[in-house]
Structure 1
Amino acid sequence: MMRLFYFPTLNGHKVTIALEEMGLPYDVEIVDILNGGQDAPAFRAVNPNGKIPALADGDVRVFESAAILQYLGRKSGRFYPAEEAVRTRIDSWLFWQMAGLGPMSGQVNWFTRAAQKPGRDPAETSLAIHRFRKETTRLFDVLERALAGQDYLCGDYSIADMCVWPWIEKYPDNGGGLAAHPHIAAWHARIARRAAVQRALAVGLDALRLAGEGKA
């Protein structure tokens, strides 16, 4: 059975969504990234980069969430059509999220938290927040235009939607909010109603609570 090395973060959610949607059996091994679990030698043997998620399936070892989605799509034959024209569109959105939306929105989060630390001079972080929020808003506008007139990013629901959705779900305000992006809002709600997505978001929540309390 596949083993998912996991903590309930946005990148982790991408993979649990895919696994639940595809109906693939898997075990979860919680990697407590709040307390150094990512540095354990056993985990580094699966992912030398020390980030979650990672996946072990027999002799296969996969890290980076988009690479895991591609692997699962090929393995299951679902949500990642073999037709080259469709698959390349899906791949483009996977890389768009990994290289653009995720890092830019993540930087907004980091600098916003830094600005809230006691004694921090707002001038140290305000330019960075402005820069990354502006770029995240631009990326939201790209997504808004892409979803105009269609329910999902690449026609049918696919791993592209699974890759992008968690970042919209968790941090919509980083890109200007859902109210300003009606096509994104409709797409977001459509996916949020899916039973597999709801199951996926529940995976590992107890571990998150315990780690936050220092009890994991």
Structure 2
Amino acid sequence: MIRFYYSPAPNPVKVALFLEEAGLEYEVLPVDTRKGEQHDAAFKALNPNAKVPVIVDGEAVVFDSNAILLYLAQKTGKFLPADTPAARGQMNSWLMFVASGIGPFCGQAVHFKHYAPGEHPYAVNRYDFEAWRHWRIVNEHLATRRYMLGDDYTLVDMALWGWARVAPFVLGDAAWNELPNVKRLLDEINARPAAQRAEALKARFTFKADMDDEANKAMFPQNTRLQG
């Protein structure tokens, strides 16, 4: 059985979606990042980067959510495009676009808008601009196809869904007016029973809700350095 180290953040949730869609047996091991559990030695032995999610599948340990999606897709043979150079090229390109673009820029936009102490107008402007730019690329791409890779639902849609769920928190209230094609894909995936089960996982566990000093130290240790 797969051991799945989980929190309700966007990246772990998209892995939960794949596990549910593929009907894989897995054990959920919650990691409360606001309590700093990602910094425990046992967890860092699995992922030296101290980030959730991680899966352990027999002898295989896989961290980074997009790497996990690719591993699971290759393991099961499910939710992959056609086995052609053209289709694999598109899959890898868009999966890495989510990994290197959507995720990091949305994460930084959220950090500087909602969590960073003090005022950071340059950082807010930069990451908000880049987050919007990446999402507009996706929205334009989806204008001419049902899913990210065409007519078939794949791991790339799952990767995108994790972050699309929180687009208004990242971008603001204008998100869905400006990104109707992304909203259409989000609604379609949300209606899938597997997505509803993935979303329901968070109700099975209690995670720290307050962003108090303990949570800030656990999630943003660089701030401690600024405080001397």
Same fold, TM-score > 0.5, yes or no = yes
CA–CA distance in structure 2, aligned partners of residues 114 and 148 of structure 1: 33
Percent of paired sites with the same residue:
37
State the partner residue of 2:216.
none
Q: Does 1:180 align with 2:175?
A: no
CA–CA distance in structure 2, aligned partners of residues 57 and 41 of structure 1: 20
Q: How far does residue 130 in structure 1 lie from its aligned partner after superposition?
A: 1.2
> Contact 1:111/1:125 (CA < 8 Å) preserved in 2?
yes
Q: How far does residue 8 in structure 1 lie from its aligned partner after superposition?
A: 1.2
> Contact 2:110/2:169 (CA < 8 Å) preserved in 1?
no
> Contact 2:80/2:155 (CA < 8 Å) preserved in 1?
yes
Q: Where in structure 1 do 4 or more consecutive aligned residues deviate above 6 Å? A: none
State the partner residue of 1:193.
191
Structure 2: 5+ residue stretches without partners: 213-228
TM-score in terms of structure 2 length:
0.85
> Contact 1:30/1:204 (CA < 8 Å) preserved in 2?
no
TM-score in terms of structure 1 length:
0.89
State the partner residue of 1:112.
113
> Contact 1:4/1:26 (CA < 8 Å) preserved in 2?
yes
CA–CA distance in structure 1, aligned partners of residues 12 and 113 of structure 2: 22
CA–CA distance in structure 2, aligned partners of residues 154 and 173 of structure 1: 26
Q: How far does residue 144 in structure 1 lie from its aligned partner after superposition?
A: 0.9
CA–CA distance in structure 2, aligned partners of residues 174 and 26 of structure 1: 30
State the partner residue of 2:98.
97
Structure 1: 5+ residue stretches without partners: none
State the partner residue of 1:170.
166
Letter of the structure 1 residue corresponding to residue 154 of structure 2: S
CA–CA distance in structure 2, aligned partners of residues 41 and 114 of structure 1: 26
Q: How far does residue 205 in structure 1 lie from its aligned partner after superposition?
A: 3.1
Letter of the structure 1 residue corresponding to residue 198 of structure 2: A
Q: How far does residue 204 in structure 1 lie from its aligned partner after superposition?
A: 3.0
RMSD of aligned alpha carbons: 1.8
